Amino acid sequence: MAATEILNRVDIVKAPQVRPMPQTEKPSLIGLVREDMAKLLVERGVPERQVKMRVSQLWHWLYVRGVSEFDQMSNVSKDMREMLKEHFTVARPEIVEEQISNDGTRKWLLRFPPRGAGRPVEIETVYIPEEGRGTLCISSQVGCTLTCSFCHTGTQKLVRNLTAEEILAQLLLARDRLGDFPERDTPQGAIVPAEGRKITNIVMMGMGEPLYNFEAVKTALLIASDGDGLSLSKRRITLSTSGIVPEIYRTGEEIGVMLAISLHAARDDLRDMLVPINKKYPLKELMDACRAYPGLSNARRITFEYVMLKDVNDSLEDAKELVKLLKGIPAKINLIPFNPWPGTNYQCSDWEQIEKFADFINQAGYASPIRTPRGRDILAACGQLKSESERMRKVDRLAFEAMMIANHGED
C-alpha cells in the first residue's frame, strides 16, 4: 500500500506537547528496582532512616499516579523535589507521531535520546482495543538480529537494546495518552474497554527479540507486575520469543509471565528457513524448554504463533506435523494471516485454506483462533513492525509497517 493512500485513510494526530526525556545524562528513576533507587537517594544526601519511606513515595507517584514531573509529587517536600529535579528525571519519551486506525488501534512513534556516544533512536508502540480488554504491544530493541524471512522488522539491523526505563516508558506513556491513570481523561471518541483499565494486557511482541535483552526486559516486567505500583497480573503479560532456549528457562524461573513462541513451522528444515535461530536451537530443544516451563496447565497455556504463508506452511500435512510436535504441551495456536510488505516473496494463505487448517487443529483438541488483522490502515498489523531510528520524512516513515498480536494472556 502506498504511503499516500495511508495518509488518506487514517487520522494522524499532531504530536502532543510533552516534556521529553532530556538530552543530558541525568539518570531516570523509572525502571530502577527499589534497592537501586534507594542507593541513588542515599548518594544524594537523603538520610538512610528516610530512604525506605522516600522510595515508597516515589514508587507510588511514578507507578500508581503516573506523574512525569517531580513538581506533581505533592506530599514530597519542596527541598526534596528540588534535589530530585537537579539530579534525576522521570520524563517521558518524545512522541514523534500518533496514528489512530479506523478500528481504534493506536500507534505511537517514540523517540529516545542518545545513550553515551549514540544518537536518538525511534521505536513504535501499538495499542489494540477489544471488547473487554486493551492490549499494548511493547518493543524491547531498536531493530532486530534474527532476520526471520517473512518479518519486516528483521530487515532493520539491530541498533541497540532498550533500557528497562525505555521499555517501561512505553507503558507509562500509553497510559497517559489513554487516560489510564487516576484523574486522567480518556481522549474523546477513543475506542477503549467499556470499564476498568484501558490497558489490561501487555505483550512483548514489538521490535526486537526480548530474550536477547533479558535483564532489561526482566526488570521492566517485574516492575510492571509489582503489586504496589502498575500491578499488572503476570497472567496478563505475555513475552514472545523466536526460541532462545536458555533464556526460556530463565524466563520461567525469574519472571514467570505467560510465554508465546514464534513457531511458524513444525519441521526443522522449513523453520531453519523461516526462523533462522532454529539452526542454533532446533525444535526438539525448543519443545523441551516449553514442556519444562513452570506452571503449565490448561489455564496457563503457551501460545504458539503461526503465520499462514501460501504454499509454504499451510497444508493439512503441516497441520498434522504441528499437532504431533505440540503433543503433551498445554497450548493455544494463533493462526496469523500474513500481512505482505514491500519486497516480500511470500503471500498470505487463501482464507479457505486457513479455515481448513484451523478446523484440523481444533479437532485435535487445540484452540486455534484466526487473528483478525488490526490496524492495517496505519501499518500496525501483525508481523510487520519496523521503524527507522533516524529522522525521516513522514511519507517515508509511513511506508514502514508495524506489528501487533492481540488476545494474549488472561481475559
The three cell numbers of residue 88 are: 534525576
Q: Which residues lie below 8 Å from residue 41, measured CB to CB, with a gap of 6+?
A: 51, 54, 55
Which one-letter DSSP state was computed for residue 155? G
**What backbone phi and psi angles, to 5 degrees, belong to 291?**
-65, -30
Q: Using an 8 Å Cβ cutoff, are 125 and 174 in contact? A: yes
Angstrom distance (rounded) from CA 134 to CA 193: 6
Please state at what angle helix 34-43 crosses helix 48-60, rounded to 10 degrees: 130
String of b and e for 374-389 (b: at least 16 CB within 10 Å)?
bbbbbbbbbbbbbbbb
How many angstroms separate the Cα of 145 from the Cα of each of 59, 156, 207, 215? 34, 8, 10, 17
- Asked if residue 339 belongs to a known ligand binding site, the reply is yes
Amino acid at 258: M
Paired with 336 in beta bridges are 307
Which residue has 503465520 as its cell numbers? Answer: 307
The three cell numbers of residue 125 are: 508502540
Amino acid at 70: F
- Asked if residue 75 belongs to a known ligand binding site, the reply is no
- Asked if residue 365 belongs to a known ligand binding site, the reply is no
Angstrom distance (rounded) from CA 71 to CA 78: 8
- Asked if residue 152 belongs to a known ligand binding site, the reply is no
- Asked if residue 352 belongs to a known ligand binding site, the reply is no
- Asked if residue 240 belongs to a known ligand binding site, the reply is yes
The three cell numbers of residue 224 are: 510492571
Which run of H or E residues covers position 52?
A: helix 48-60
Angstrom distance (rounded) from CA 45 to CA 47: 6
Q: Which residues are catalytic?
A: 124, 382
Q: Which residues lie below 8 Å from residue 209, measured CB to CB, with a gap of 6+?
A: 140, 141, 144, 145, 146, 241, 242, 244
- Asked if residue 144 belongs to a known ligand binding site, the reply is yes
- Asked if residue 56 belongs to a known ligand binding site, the reply is no
How many angstroms separate the Cα of 306 from the Cα of each of 42, 135, 191, 332, 336? 50, 19, 28, 10, 6
Q: Is 294 exposed, middle or buried (0-12, 13-18, 19+ CB in 10 A)?
A: exposed
Q: Residues within the annotated binding site for [4Fe-4S] cluster?
A: 144, 148, 151
Annotated binding site: 144, 148, 151, 208-209, 240, 262-264, 339
Q: Give binding residues for S-adenosyl-L-methionine as ranges.
A: 208-209, 240, 262-264, 339
